[in-house]
Amino acid sequence: MSTQDTGTRTPSGAAARPGTPRFIDSVSLIAGREVSMRLRSKAFLISTGILMLAVLASVVLGSLFGGQSEAAKVAVVGGAASVVDGNDALEAVPVDDQAAGEQLLRDGEVDAIIVPAASDPLGVVVVGLDETPSNVMQALAVYPTVELLEPAAVDPGLAYLVAFGFGIVFFMSAITFGSTISQSVVEEKQTRVVEILLSTVSARALLTGKVVGNSVLAFGQILAIAVLALLGLMLTGQRVLLGGVGPSVIWFVVFFAVGFVMLAALFAASSALVSRAEDVGSVTTPVTMLVMIPYILIIFFNDNPTVLAIMSYVPFSSPVGMPMRVFLGTAEWWEPILSLLILVATTAAAVLVGERMYRNSLLKTGPRVKLGDALRG
Amino acid sequence: MLELSDVTKRYGERLALDHVSFTVGDGRLTGFVGGNGAGKTTTMRIVLGVLSSDGGTVAIDGAPLTSVDRRRFGYMPEERGLYPKMKVLEQTVYLARLHGWSAEAARRNALDLLERLGLGERLDDTIESLSLGNQQRAQIAAALVHRPELLVLDEPFSGLDPMAVETVQAVLADAAASGTPVLFSSHQLDIVERLCDDLVIIAGGRIVASGTRDSLRAQHATDRWELLANGDAGWLRQQPGIRVVEFDGGWAVFEAESDAAREAVLAEAVARGGLTSFARERTSLAQIFKEVVR
């Protein structure tokens, strides 16, 4: 035997051998690595930056185009002032005669001139520059009083907006972080580091760490977007309709947290079936479908109570469906709780099956692992 | 001491391991030798618990292995791999911490080990930017950084340049000298022969030979003798009761009918002068391997 002494075998003051790490310690180390590596990835930072800019831009543009319109300035001649009095949408600029008003109109100081006219049934004539001043016309328009027999509790436009909001946030986060988990699983398989990891920690700790790490990232990103959007709304002076949306947002967050774990486990399990990053798409398509369907349904059927009722109980769509019904006020108090229990049970089952598939497939490199083999082991 | 008893593994119909039994003693460098597909990697994976066996037991110091014991093992898989985008030091520290070391102690272990492996200059380089040889060194650091109580290395020398082979040999010998049982497989029989205390030879999923290197050599020793002298050794052919097997100038390998015939050769060689070596031929591991695998 050739024993060569290379000197320092044990550094002075080496710590005593540590005990077996606890599950929670392993999970937090693994989750921490997921987060720090993701935050170091340029692709992730750039795409998050673009997403943030898009949110900010939509808020700012929204205030520019949709914001509260200022009162239109009109020049009023003589007795026409009585027509404008008490109309919040119009600001009267009294002028001596029509000629003075025309001067203001040509200078762009006012949008129209209102002139008294005895011959007109309304007693006034509106003078515009080169086109009908529709903002002034709208302000002057008179509508009969409308009574609705069954008034909708919620403005349909707002309902659509909320549905779209829940749908897009769920869809984007699930797809973004689902594919992040997929990449991370396949990277470990492709680079074979997984064999070292499995000789150190259990497959369960590895999977849990990945799901936790990516969930933290997903929630962090959503939080950042929400804060940015609210800040944008406040800074641009738009009123936030939080009052009516509040409870449904809280339910959304709760459902999302559970549903995301379920999807993350499914993404991880299906990605473990393949050994190369190029093949991830083919195995995760079914999971991607499960994420897309609720998104499409909520956009098209947010006004259909039957579809919403079904959606609010099916585990894959309940994170979007149930908060929507809470917002619309069509859900009894116990319904979100029942739906959440169903979701939790499904998530537990998905995690168990996912962990099994994950563990059984991790060391099988080469061709795609058959689903049956992954489940049987 | 690591002890495998009747470990069996099936892949469908194929019997990959057939009642594999051997031991790896404390402080013993044990070479694990066998052809491709003989079952080396499967055996090592079962020891590490990344694969389950279909029968038999693996015990450490007499008690069956638990996952807690396995966390204290060091493993270098045949399929090399580390996170390509992580830095050398960062990655080594991470693995030590997964084994339960505190951040500070993990860092100390990693720095010490990487320095000894000649990666002191590369601590902040990503794994993917290293040369293949340096990636191998980093891989060995990954197996050793948590100061394992047992080392299992699958082909630790493949892909290493001669300098790195020297370094790794020294590191393994150090580990063994401090009492750690070390099991490693290799195709490079000359390294195994030079380095190992014990040998385990596997063929077709069965252990065909195991024991100390010297006892295996003794078992497989031939009755051949080797003579080396200045000047031509052609006279050997005229000696009674001698059969020359190989011959080249002053060097010859021969078989003797009897001890007397052999001693006569020695006396003759001494009388002729210029004798530099006269000894029983050393059986090389390659010869033993060929013999037991056949």
Q: Are residues A174 and A269 in the same domain?
A: yes
Residue A63 has what pLDDT? Answer: 65
Distance between CA A57 and CA A63 in Å, rounded? 10
Residue A11 has pLDDT above 70, yes or no: no
Q: Are residues A234 and A103 in the same domain?
A: no
B70 touches chain A (CB under 8 A): yes
B49 touches chain A (CB under 8 A): yes
Distance between CA B280 and CA B220 in Å, rounded? 12
Residue B182, phi-psi category: left (phi > 0), alpha (psi -120 to 50), beta (remainder): beta
User: In this predicted model, what pLDDT tens digit does every residue of B161-196 receive, in sequence order?
Assistant: 888 888 888 988 998 999 999 999 988 888 888 889
| CB-closest option in A9, A21, A40 to B98 | A21
Query: Which portions of chain B are predicted below pLDDT 70?
Result: none
Length of chain B, in residues: 294
Residues 6+ apart with CB under 8 A from B140: B76, B117, B153, B156, B168, B171
Q: Work out how many CB contacts closer than 8 A connect A with B.
A: 113
Indicate whether A25 belongs to any domain. no
Distance between CA A48 and CA A45 in Å, rounded? 5
Indicate whether A331 belongs to any domain. yes
Q: Are residues A81 and A192 in the same domain?
A: no
Domain range for residue A119?
73-140
User: In this predicted model, what pLDDT tens digit does every residue of A268-327 receive, in sequence order?
Assistant: 999 999 988 888 888 999 999 888 888 888 888 878 888 889 989 998 889 888 988 888
Say yes or no: domain B2-218 is CATH 3.20.20.100. Answer: no
Residue of A nearest to B110 (CA): A11
Domain ranges of chain B: 2-218, 220-293
Distance between CA A149 and CA B162 in Å, rounded? 91
Residue B72 has what pLDDT? Answer: 87
Kindly report the number of other CB atoms within 10 A of residue A308's CB atom: 23
Residue A88 has what pLDDT? Answer: 72
B77 touches chain A (CB under 8 A): yes
Chain B residues within 8 A of A198 when measuring between CB atoms: 50
The alpha carbon of residue A203 is apart from the nearest alpha carbon of chain B, in Å, by 10
Residue of A nearest to B49 (CA): A199
A71 or A189: whose pLDDT is higher?
A189
The alpha carbon of residue B79 is apart from the nearest alpha carbon of chain A, in Å, by 6
Residues 6+ apart with CB under 8 A from A140: A83, A87, A90, A126
Q: Are residues A257 and A369 in the same domain?
A: yes
Distance between CA B28 and CA B120 in Å, rounded? 29
Chain A interface, mutation test: which of B50, B52, B151, most A Cβ atoms within 10 Å?
B50
Chain B residues within 8 A of A1 when measuring between CB atoms: 29, 173, 195-197
Confidence band for A237, pLDDT divided at 50, 70 and 90: low
Q: Are residues A80 and A191 in the same domain?
A: no
The pair of structure tokens assigned to A304 is 């259909």
Distances (CA, A) of B29 to A338, B159, B226, B249: 61, 20, 29, 38
Asked if A235 and A243 count as a contact pair (C-beta separation under 8 A), the reply is: no
Distance between CA A262 and CA A315 in Å, rounded? 9
Q: Are residues A220 and A302 in the same domain?
A: yes
Beta-carbon separation of B72 and A17 below 8 A: yes
Residue A145 has pLDDT above 80, yes or no: no
Chain B residues within 8 A of A363 when measuring between CB atoms: 45, 50-51
Residue B211 pairs with which residues in a beta bridge? B199
Instruction: Supply the Cα-derived Rg of chain B in whole angstroms.
Output: 23
CATH of B220-293, one of 3.40.1350, 3.30.70, 1.10.3470, 2.30.29: 3.30.70
User: Which residue from A13, A5, A15 is spatially nearest to B116, judged by alpha carbons?
Assistant: A5
- Does pTM surpass 0.90? no
User: In this predicted model, what pLDDT tens digit does every residue of A170-224 receive, in sequence order?
Assistant: 888 888 888 889 999 999 988 888 888 988 888 889 999 998 998 888 888 877 8
Boundary residue ending a domain (A140, A173, A192) = A140
Chain B interface, mutation test: which of A20, A200, A364, A365, most B Cβ atoms within 10 Å?
A200
| CB-closest option in B75, B101, B170 to A18 | B101
State mean pLDDT over A319-348: 90
3-class DSSP assignment, residue B128: helix
Boundary residue ending a domain (A90, A116, A140) = A140
Provide the b/e sequence for B199-217 (b: ≥16 CB within 10 Å).
bbbbbebbbbbbeebeebb
3-class DSSP assignment, residue B106: helix
Residue A1 has what pLDDT? Answer: 41
Indicate whether A51 belongs to any domain. no
| CB-closest option in A5, A17, A201 to B147 | A17
Q: Are residues A131 and A169 in the same domain?
A: no
Beta-carbon separation of A193 and B147 below 8 A: no
Chain A interface, mutation test: which of B11, B79, B146, B196, most A Cβ atoms within 10 Å?
B79
Boundary residue ending a domain (A140, A163, A186) = A140
Sheet harboring A90-95: ordered strands across?
A90-95, A72-77, A112-116, A124-127
Q: Are residues A192 and A157 in the same domain?
A: yes
Indicate whether A48 belongs to any domain. no
In this structure, which long-range contacts are made by residues B187-190, counting pairs with CB atoms below 8 Å and at least 24 apart in sequence? B187/B155, B187/B158, B188/B157, B188/B158, B189/B33, B189/B284, B189/B285, B189/B286, B189/B289, B190/B285
Asked if A200 and A254 count as a contact pair (C-beta separation under 8 A), the reply is: no
Chain B residues within 8 A of A36 when measuring between CB atoms: none
Residue A346 has what pLDDT? Answer: 94
Beta-carbon separation of A21 and B174 below 8 A: no
Instruction: Provide the domain count of chain A.
Output: 2
In this structure, which amino acid lies at residue B58?
V
Residue A7 has pLDDT above 50, yes or no: no
Beta-carbon separation of A196 and B147 below 8 A: no
Predicted-assembly ipTM surpassing the 0.85 threshold: no
Q: Are residues A186 and A276 in the same domain?
A: yes
Q: Are residues A346 and A287 in the same domain?
A: yes
Residue B34 pairs with which residues in a beta bridge? B202
Chain B residues within 8 A of A191 when measuring between CB atoms: 81-84
Residue of A nearest to B176 (CA): A3
Q: H helices within A141-202, ranges in order? A: 156-190, 193-198
To which residue do tokens 């369907």 refer? A293
| CB-closest option in B77, B108, B195 to A192 | B77
Q: Are residues A199 and A342 in the same domain?
A: yes
Concatenating the DSSP letter of every residue in B201-233 gives EEETTEEEEEEEHHHHHHHT--SEEEEEESS--
Tell me the CB-side half-sphere exposure of residue B204, using CA atoms within 13 A: 4
Q: Are residues A86 and A163 in the same domain?
A: no
Residue A241 has what pLDDT? Answer: 55
Residue B57 has what pLDDT? Answer: 92
The pair of structure tokens assigned to B242 is 């001698």
Element (H, E) at B98: helix B88-98
Chain A residues within 8 A of B68 when measuring between CB atoms: 20
Residue of A nearest to B143 (CA): A196
Residues 6+ apart with CB under 8 A from A58: none
